[in-house]
Amino acid sequence: MSDQFFESAVEAFGDGVVLRLRGAAGLPAQADLERLATRVLSGRPKRVVVDARELTFIASFALGQLVSIARRVQSDGGEVIVGGAAATVEEVFERSRLGGMMTLVSAGRLEEILRDIGTA
């Protein structure tokens, strides 16, 4: 897999969406991430579950897009959960002090959440 590879998918469930991120969310993915944020927010979800198990890198711009999603979802009384991130990606979230905006969960807990909402 190229270090430029990035892929995303959005899957709706009930009053929320699962956002699956795969590859490197770096500068080359900027346009894709902007479209993704617009698509996710257009449905005004109450819950956004970010499946980051296959995310290998996240740049500040990509993190900013997730922050935009989280702000909007929270302003509507919802929540954003990020799960299964690799240690290097999780460290970016932790250093950015985004714990109040997004809940970070383990891959195991993410699996439980996905099973509960029927998108595992």
Q: Which residues of 11-34 are buried (b: 16+ CB within 10 A; e: fewer)?
A: eeeeebbbbbbbbbbbeebeeebe
Q: Pick the closest to residue 101 from 65, 61, 64, 74 (CA basis).
A: 74
pTM for this entry: 0.91
Whether 106 is covered by a domain: the verdict is yes
How many domains does one find in the chain?
A: 1
Q: What is the mean pLDDT of residues 71-81?
A: 94
In this structure, are strands 6-13 and 16-25 parallel, antiparallel, or unpaired? antiparallel
> Which domain CATH number covers 71?
3.30.750.24
Task: Give 15-68 pLDDT, tens digit per residue.
Answer: 999 999 999 998 888 888 899 999 999 989 999 999 999 999 999 889 999 999
Whether 1 is covered by a domain: the verdict is no
Whether 71 is covered by a domain: the verdict is yes
Query: Within 13 A of 94's CA, how many CA atoms are on the CB side?
Result: 10
Report pLDDT for 113: 95
Q: Does residue 3 carry a pLDDT above 90?
A: no
Whether 81 is covered by a domain: the verdict is yes
CB 43 within 8 A of CB 74: no
Element (H, E) at 84: none
Give CA–CA dist 11/27, Å, rounded: 24
Q: Look up the domain containing 92 and give its range.
A: 6-117
Q: Does residue 2 carry a pLDDT above 60?
A: no
